Amino acid sequence: MHRGKGMKFVGDSRVLAPSERKPNIPKDYSEYPGKTEAFWPNFLLKEWMVGAVFLVGFLSLTVANPAPLERIADPTDTGYIPLPDWYFLFLYQLLKYSYASGPYTVVGAMVIPGIAFGGLLLAPFIDRGPERRPIKRPVATGSMLLALVAMVFLTWQAVATHDWKKAEEQGKIVAKVNINKADEGYQVFKNQGCINCHGENLQGGAGAPTLINTGLKAEEIAKIAKNGKGKMPAGIFKGNDEQLKKLTTFIEGLNKK
Ligand code: HEC
């Protein structure tokens, strides 16, 4: 329609005269078969079905792979090695390199990610060429590929170099057991120095495991107390047999009934 043509002036305004107005009916799409459909119910039903399939799939995934829960966070535990979720592993890994950590943490935490994400943010303003084919835009395509390769590599490195066994150990949920600190066995535990490594609540720490629910019998504990085990040095216990019995039955008593 040519602008202005077929327009009749009504008073001072430029409203179409009633005879020129089009009736208010929706456009007829029958000339595009298969290209369009009614919103209700056809389109909505399809949307709903896709949503339902996605939801069921997602549900099955969470049931099959429950989110790993760890023990309650303890800010005083400096030995705990935290790990971000997988999508931040590449940034985490970056902070491990000597040129991006220690005195250069700012480089790893701000400068490098800042350049990368800042560049992405400014890309529409910097690169205003009309060309759309990736092959014709070597700088943009190259930077994106470089970033992609770097992210995949760093993520892989983070996974490969993480101490997963230690991570599982440090995050273990230890059943809360009420320690009777008035028990004579606990007094021996304290006086013999076991407490220095195994902790005030026998929770472990600094490389020593918890003594709660070890599953060990009193005799086995006695042997370890005197002879040591693995990284635990021998000869720590220097008391008499009576004290040893009190100590070992106390620790044995922490086993799950
Ligand atoms: C110098 C630190 C240190 C002291 C002190 C110490 N332990 Fe240990 N203890 C360890 C370490 C480390 C281990 C883990 C040994 C291993 O398996 O490599 C351990 C392991 C144990 C275990 C075996 C736990 C298990 O689940 O297998 C027992 C039981 C034990 N200690 C009892 C004692 C008793 C009782 C005392 C006091 C007489 C004591 N410890 C003092 C460091 C210590």
The predicted-structure confidence for 35-56, as pLDDT tens digits, reads as follows 777 788 888 999 999 999 999 9
**What pLDDT score was predicted for residue 160?**
95
Cα 250 to averaged position of ligand 1 atoms, centre (Å): 15
CB of 213 within 6 A of ligand 1: the answer is no
Pick from 224, 243, 247, 252 the residue to mutate for probing ligand 1's pocket: most ligand atoms within 8 Å of its CB.
224
Any ligand 1 atom below 6 A from CB of 244: no
The count of residues in the chain is 257
- Give the residue, by CA position, lying nearest to ligand 1 atom 25: 214
Whether 163 shows a pLDDT value over 80: the answer reads yes
Residue owning the nearest CA to atom 17 of ligand 1: 230
Rounded to an integer, what distance in angstroms lies between the CA atom of residue 93 and that of residue 90? 5
Looking from the CA of residue 207, the nearest atom of ligand 1 is: 12
Instruction: Using the mean position of ligand 1's atoms as its centre, give its distance from the Cα of residue 166 in Å.
Output: 17
Give 18's contacts (C-beta < 8 A, 6+ positions apart). none
Q: Which of 39-48, 122-131, 166-175 has the lowest mean pLDDT?
A: 166-175
In the reported structure, the alpha carbon of residue 90 is separated from the centroid of ligand 1 by a whole-number distance in angstroms of 37
Of the candidates 171, 174, 158, the residue with the CA atom closest to the CA atom of residue 212: 174
Closest CA to 143 of 122, 163, 157: 122
| Among 196, 210, 213, 232, residue to substitute to test ligand 1 (most atoms within 8 Å of Cβ) | 232
Ligand 1 centre distance from Cα of residue 189 (Å): 11
Q: How confident is the model at residue 1 (pLDDT cuts 50, 70, 90)?
A: very low
User: What pLDDT does residue 41 have?
Assistant: 85
Can you tell me the distance from the alpha carbon of 202 to that of 218, in angstroms, rounded to the nearest whole number?
A: 16
Closest CA to 85 of 165, 160, 159: 159
Which residue CA neighbors atom 35 of ligand 1 most closely? Answer: 225
* Cβ of 211 below 6 Å from ligand 1: yes
The answer, yes or no, to whether residue 105 has pLDDT greater than 80, is yes
> Which pLDDT score is estimated for 4?
53
Q: Report residue 128 as tokens.
A: 């205003």
| Mean per-residue pLDDT of the chain | 86
Q: How much distance in Å is there from the Cα of 177 to the middle of ligand 1?
A: 18
